[in-house]
Amino acid sequence: MDILIVDDEQSIRLTTSVALEAEGHYVETAEDGDSALQRLKEEDFQLVFLDLRLGDEDGLMVMQEILKKTPRQLVTIFTAHASVATAVKATQLGAFDYLEKPFTPDQLRAIIAKAQKALQTQVEVVRLQETVQELKSEVKHNAPPLQFDSEDERTRVELETLFRAAASPASVLILGESGTGKSVIAREVHDRSHLRDKPFVTVSCPSLSKELLESVLFGHMKGSFTGAVKDTWGKVHAADGGTLFLDEIGELPMEIQPKLLRLLQEREYERLGENKVRESNVRIIAATNRDLAACVAARTFREDLFYRLNVISVTVPPLRERRGDLIRFANDYLSFFSKQMGRKIEGFSEAGRQALVRHSWPGNLRELRNAIERAAILARGSKIEAEDLPIPVAADAAATTGGNSTGPVIGGEYSIDDIEQTHLREVLRWAPTLQDAAAILGIDKATLYRKRKRFGMD
């Protein structure tokens, strides 16, 4: 080990270095704070022994200077004036340990052994931090990049409002169909908030029984239910100071709802089987694909909890209502997956593109991502064809018209004009561009312009 001894007494410098060198360590000495700081600037020493009284200098001040420059430096304070107060002060200020003068070789050895262990732990911590960083970037690079811009006005407004509110402590409620990206958005709100360096903890409400869910949320005491073999802390505790994300909140059992309300209102909770009120400071983000207002009307969700959660609320539109974003997402996913699979796929053929825009995407972004991943594996050519996509190639007409049941019905008492006009209007509503609409209708762009004019749709 490389050791620096800082003491104004020559006899201490000499005896300590002889003792340490005899144990095989490399030792240097310094007689005052300035020369010690200078040597530490030039060289790395794993351990510093520092006298509490360096002539007129205060050893603790010198230690603070050292720690300011290298916060992880191990410093052991030598003191001839041992008292609990100085020892406590030294450790509070960051000393690794202290050693009372006069000391025996065994005491010196004990300090060295302790320092070696601490250094080993430091190395281990750094290694773990590096591993966490690597894994984080691996996870990030193993998934397609996330996209939060939108061509769709409604989506853009919803997301902008939400991200503007990210920095406030207000609760957030994210509504939307399955696969629209609610969990991804919840994480993004956390990452854009002042809590980004604090924990982000997810609880999936439907995945557990009522009792287990309560325990997972709030923790429990040993013996509070069958199988509770030891005391545990829940996710509310784990998320303290950060964000607690409650996924599928619409499934939260009625019995737990008052406890969540108390957490939101009073910032208080109790562990299962414990009679002690605990405080928690968490920001709640909740998501559901259910119509929560309808759940309130049906009395399966408490109205007071709904209003508490509903401070900032957004509804993420389904993909079929974000046609403008569809091709962009599809292209992003395709370039990610083709790169991941080492394939050169240039994009979508016209038929592939048509198949994409005609499908209603009931599984939203999740379905699109999976479809593109599969297509990137199976595509035979350099472009994705309609048959490479795991979706009905024929237009899913009912879905793409949004299930419009008020318009004319094929075979009913309607003129051809009525039918043509309605069909034209619906296709124009969802097709990303006029070019796409013309292609779907099987007419050229000029004919489409003329028809729009004729039906007064300009």
Ligand X SMILES: Nc1ncnc2c1ncn2[C@@H]1O[C@H](COP(=O)(O)OP(=O)(O)OP(=O)(O)O)[C@@H](O)[C@H]1O
Q: Which residues bind ligand X (CB under 6 A)?
A: 144, 146-148, 176, 178-184, 287, 289, 365-366, 369
CB nearer ligand X, residue 116 or residue 183: 183
Least separation, in Å, of the C-beta of 241 and ligand X? 24
Least separation, in Å, of the C-beta of 413 and ligand X? 42
Angle between helices 84-92 and 59-69 (to 10 degrees): 20
CB nearer ligand X, residue 287 or residue 384: 287
Q: Which two tokens stand for residue 315?
A: 């509804």
Beta bridge partners of 383: 347
Neighbour count for residue 400 (Cβ, 10 Å) = 21
Neighbour count for residue 290 (Cβ, 10 Å) = 14
Q: Which of these, 197, 186, 180, 140, lies nearest to 163 by C-alpha position?
A: 186
Strands 219-220 and 232-233: antiparallel
User: Is residue 51 classed as helix, strand or coil in its secondary structure?
Assistant: strand
* H/E stretch holding 240: none
User: Is residue 406 classed as helix, strand or coil in its secondary structure?
Assistant: coil
Least separation, in Å, of the C-beta of 259 and ligand X? 23
CB nearer ligand X, residue 253 or residue 362: 362
DSSP character string of 172-220: EEEEE-TTSSHHHHHHHHHHTSTTTTS-EEEEEGGGS-HHHHHHHHHEE
CB nearer ligand X, residue 239 or residue 287: 287
Least separation, in Å, of the C-beta of 204 and ligand X? 8
- Residue whose tokens read 């013309």: 438
**Residues for the chain: how many in total?**
458
- Report the Cα 350 to chain-centroid distance in Å: 37
CB nearer ligand X, residue 33 or residue 250: 250
Select the residue whose beta carbon is closest to ligand X and give its number: 181
Least separation, in Å, of the C-beta of 332 and ligand X? 7
Alpha carbon dihedral 272, 276, 282, 288, in 10-degree steps, equals 30
Q: Which of these, 268, 290, 294, 272, lies nearest to 281 by C-alpha position?
A: 268
Least separation, in Å, of the C-beta of 218 and ligand X? 23
Burial degree of 160 (CB within 10 A; 0-12, 13-18, 19+):
middle
- In sequence order, the 6+-apart residues with CB closer than 8 A to the CB of 14 are none
